[in-house]
Structure 1
Amino acid sequence: MDNTILGTTFVCQIAMIVRDVEKATNRFAELLGVPAPTIIMANDDGSDTVTYLGQPTQGRVRLSFFHMENTVIEFIEPTEDPSTWKEFLDTKGPGVHHIAFKAKNRMMETAAKLEAFGFPLIQNGDKYAYVESTDDLGVILELLDID
């Protein structure tokens, strides 16, 4: 860990909001010349506790992940569940939604530091937290509680 507010400078993921995750996944796989990864429906079973703007939501979303040499590229297709993903697609259309940093065992502690820095928590689940930083940085920051 270093002395940044984030506790790291390691970007582990870049995520894009798309209207059609199958199309985006297949096109990106074609571009890279690799097999398309499996598309999953996250939180369809409700096992993750998701909060959006302080309110509980099921937070279902369709995802695919490309594990690159130096980072993970994620494609996200929102469902109708209230979420930062749906709000992004509804207000901005497809595009880069967030960049993610590892925050193993210190996700909410780091989110609190970022809130004090002026980047409020907008959505979180058991293993992730998004902070609103688009006015200053042009993108949302995600903290991932992963190794």
Structure 2
Amino acid sequence: MADTILGTSFICQIAMIVRDVEKASGRFAQLMGVPVPKIVLANEDGSDTVTYQGQPTKGRVKLAFFQMENLVIEFIEPTEDPTTWKDFLDTKGPGVHHIAFKAKDKMMETAAKLEEFGYPLIQNGDKYAYVESTGDLGVILELLDID
């Protein structure tokens, strides 16, 4: 399926926005019988260049990642920084925010193709890009520049 607009059909992650990443991670770990992963404050040092709706933002966020057999489950707790995560929590409450596809070395090229397809880029950092596809798909698509 490499001839798709996305260049892949490999879904590598599903991410949920939560109000309390510690609580959500603890409950999910209990449910799955796995250890609670380390919770990180991403971009605390400002090393990632983050843009939201065309404007620079600090883009800090609390994250927890569960490596499952077939994909990664991510829990995201927004900070007060302007981001798609904060906007999602403020307008919709907790829920599924995005599904992610690997886009190694072609992240922004793929984002441009998706924009032509009608899914505009809404936020990006050095290794990720979100495109707005909720009107058609009910979820944001993420492109990850990973192996």
Alignment correspondent of 2:142: 142
Paired position in structure 2 for 1:22 = 22
Q: Distance in 2 between matches of 1:2 and 1:42?
A: 31
- Aligned residue pairs total 147
Shift of 1:123: 0.0
1:38-76 Cα offsets, whole Å, 9 max, x none, are 000000000000000000000000000000000000000
Alignment-derived partner of residue 81 in structure 1: 81
Q: Distance in 1 between matches of 2:82 and 2:143?
A: 20
CA distance in structure 2 between the aligned counterparts of 1:35 and 1:129, rounded to whole angstroms: 29
Give the CA RMSD over aligned residues: 0.6
In 1, distance between residues paired with 2:145 and 2:34?
A: 28
Tell me, in whole angstroms, the C-alpha distance in 2 between the residues paired with 1:53 and 1:38. 29
Partner of 2:98: 98
How far is the alpha carbon of 1:23 from its aligned partner?
0.2
Shift of 1:90: 0.1
- Residue 100 of structure 2 aligns to a residue whose secondary structure is strand
Q: What is the CA–CA distance in structure 1 between the aligned matches of 2:70 and 2:21, rounded to whole Å?
A: 22
Normalised by the length of structure 1, the TM-score is: 0.99
1:23 and 1:45 mapped to 2: Cα distance? 25
Alignment of 1:1-147 (within 5 A): 2-147=2-147
Aligned mates of 1:117, 1:21 — CA distance in 2: 34
- Partners of 1:130 and 1:2 lie apart in 2 by 20
Question: Where does structure 1 differ by over 4 angstroms across 4 or more consecutive aligned residues?
Answer: none
Aligned to 1:63, what secondary structure does the other structure show?
strand
What is the deviation of 1:16?
0.0
Provide the TM-score with structure 2 as the length reference.
0.99
Q: Percent same amino acid among aligned pairs?
A: 82
AA matched with 1:117: F
Shift of 1:93: 0.0
Tell me, what secondary structure is at the counterpart of 1:24? helix
